[in-house]
Structure 1
């Protein structure tokens, strides 16, 4: 039996198909707030058909979203295709996490799912760096205590912003190797954007470990669309797990 999981982010919608704990297929779509239910329905059906899967073989669906405009659209799509329960993760979903504040409804469901996934998969105190539209850095204890998080502009977001504000700048190839100091405008921007992001993460991780040194052991995880590019140049990262959010959603399906 299969599970289908959907992570609706500000830039992308990522759909995963799992067989037990194994991710079989993944589809990434642009998060188009003007997209119709028919459009997303067509994309999901295509994913099912191209992989020759049977609708009857799906037992559960789970969804997290930070884009309210798209949540109901994707829920309706899933409900119209699959005859299985749909778990919509909210701040009220009981995932065994504990929070330092009474009202934690403001915390994004992607952060909640990441904390749940990291705690259950790695079973240690986890520093999670999610590198997407925004860069988030969070700490969850092995006991499920959600210590807190920080949000900064994502690397791609920062790049698009500065290039749109300066008429003589063009969009950069962020995969290009960057030196500590550039020798022209393009390489200087690569240095400031890419190296600057790496240095920010490095210092955040160092300071978190210093402040919460009583926790002793940490596992630092990079996830999200840019985790491979940034994580490979950051010695403080122990694990690059691009699919942490999807894995967390699948765990929610499996526990049900």
Structure 2
């Protein structure tokens, strides 16, 4: 079985594949001060509770946007699973030509998402990932990664509003009953959600105008479902796109 690990700024997401089938997935808070032993014990417990054993792991691949944790997870995999992980980077064979001024600046999660989306759709694409930051990536039908947009994530926006105001409360990010809020919480929820929907639709449309063509627009990430159903531009949500991309890239780049 293949262990896939996506190390993000807010969460570490783990996936376990048997063939191309996702058999299990888990999410832990990202904490750069945790050691390989701490994360290792947590993962072993999660696997055990789901009925899996370390001996079933035959390979591993990881992507990381937290440099301080990349070595930690490399060590974890080697110590607890006796495997050398494939670590996604700008030199990884993704099946895409990276038309970026400095490919080393591209977050590995963006490469993984782009590779997974292109492998599935084989069309002009815009991939929107709702993570700590919200990223928009443009991929052409001819398998070229062009670049994209990086915006503050919805969670960051909500936290900033709460921390920089004296009287506004922290709210749950859900769809309010009406756009016009009849109380403070409803007004904040409306501003966050519908304001962000406007940001997403506006950026996607500007990207398409600049590209000179329409694209298939795919969303992923923690808040993708909440946002996507309110937008006019997102066509499909794939919540496990990054894990699917890691599984794909492992087989393109597996160590011998």
TM over 0.5: yes
The alignment status of 1:103 with 2:91, answered yes or no, reads no
In structure 1, the partner of 2:186 is: 187
Deviation digits for residues 136-173 of structure 1 (CA, Å, limit 9, x no counterpart): 11111122211111011100110011101112122111
Contact kept? 1:20, 1:254, Cα under 8 Å? no
Deviation at 1:25, TM superposition (A): 0.7
1:143: which partner in 2?
A: 142
Per-residue deviation, 1:50? 1.4
Residue aligned with 1:148, SS:
strand
Q: Secondary structure at the match of 2:97?
A: coil
Once the two structures are superposed, what CA deviation does each residue of 1:12-33 show, in whole Å capped at 9, x if it has no partner? Answer: 0000001111111111000011
Q: Is the 8 A contact 1:14 1:28 kept in 2?
A: yes
Residue segments in structure 1 that go unaligned for 5+ positions in a row: none
Report what 1:86 is aligned to: 85
CA contact (8 A) 2:77 2:84 kept: no
SS in 2 for 1:105: helix
Q: Is the 8 A contact 2:175 2:190 kept in 1?
A: no
Q: Distance in 1 between matches of 2:75 and 2:42?
A: 14
User: 1 CA distance for matches of 2:204 and 2:217?
Assistant: 8
Query: How many angstroms does 1:178 deviate by?
Result: 5.1
* Cα distance, 1:101–1:174 mapped onto 2, change above 3 Å: closer
1:55-106 Cα deviation digits (max 9, x unpaired): 3332210000000111111111111122334100011212122122352111
Q: Which string of whole-angstrom CA distances, capped at 9 and with x for unpartnered residues, describes residues 99-136 of structure 1?
A: 22352111111111111111112221111110011111
Matched residue of 1:70: which SS?
A: helix
The answer as to 2:219 corresponding to 1:222 is yes
* DSSP 3-state at the match of 1:124: coil
TM-score (norm 2): 0.93
Q: Structure 2: how far apart are the matches of 1:178 and 1:66?
A: 36
Q: Show the counterpart of 1:5.
A: 4
Distance 1:144 1:66 in 2: 23
Map 1:1-256; keep pairs closer than 5 Å.
2-177=1-176, 179-214=178-213, 218-255=215-252, 256=254
TM-score normalized by the length of structure 1: 0.93
How far apart are residue 188 of structure 1 and its match? 2.0
Unaligned runs of 5+ in 2: none
Q: Count how many residue pairs are aligned between Structure 1 and Structure 2.
A: 253
CA distance in 1, matches of 2:204, 2:136: 8
CA contact (8 A) 1:90 1:109 kept: yes
What is the CA–CA distance in structure 2 between the aligned matches of 1:49 and 1:12, rounded to whole Å? 21
> What do you get for the CA RMSD once the two structures are aligned?
1.5
Instruction: Point out the more displaced range, 155-164 or 136-145.
Output: 136-145
